[in-house]
Structure 1
């Protein structure tokens, strides 16, 4: 799934050099429908079919209007969804970052680490807001090639750098602050 998301933008730009826009959109729409059917039968929750459903809606609109701009907004929509997930987690005290950390970190967390990670959603709200703004800027003011790069791997680079910053900050300063 993640691999397909990475390929979505650059493959789309490459296909535009060989086929007309509506044909490429139709191909992506068909792939999205197949992906939705697959996810429907493999789903554990209804959230598992959210992404392919969003792709179908976006590609249907793009096909109807023959609009590359609509296709370029798919990563913006994804980024906005993640932003709202973190905002929801903040206000409803779901502690997404803490829960992700507990899932992948084998050692028992110290109390001060838990306090730091409980506030991690706030940091990721800012990161997701920055990511959404970058996406919007690129969609509206940059070339298709820059859009393809950022929409495929650029935002993963942003997330990786943001994660490294959060870890370094947490290890060197924040956890010590919570021990006081």
Structure 2
């Protein structure tokens, strides 16, 4: 199967509802099980909300990058310009399109933008350590596990309802130069 060829653009406020729906479908509930990036086994509740997505869309220090195929939103990611490095987050690919190369294309475009538009030396991201398969995917794309962890925001339902008590994030880093 040839990978789909998306077009990329920066999100606008009118994209927020579609972005929330895409992000939720990629990570939560039964619909997310159609792909391999689901967090449904470790987290219930929401992955994000309109206010959180709107904050990213309106952030002047970054952008929400959209990938569309034939005018339909199929993937997205957050990029934030942070003093010498870029932060990559809120990455979502439509569950039915996962595993076909679309995620690799979005990640490559995010890295290109960070390097060329912001002269970022590195890309940083945090991933839940229990997501070993996802971490392995990033490692295959040049990201390095740092061993630097941060706590999961237990008690803050905006980030979901944990099904286990050992969740934490690990910082992954890739040199862009």
Q: TM-score, normalised by structure 1?
A: 0.29
The higher radius of gyration belongs to: 1
Q: TM-score, normalised by structure 2?
A: 0.29
Give 1 or 2: higher strand fraction.
2
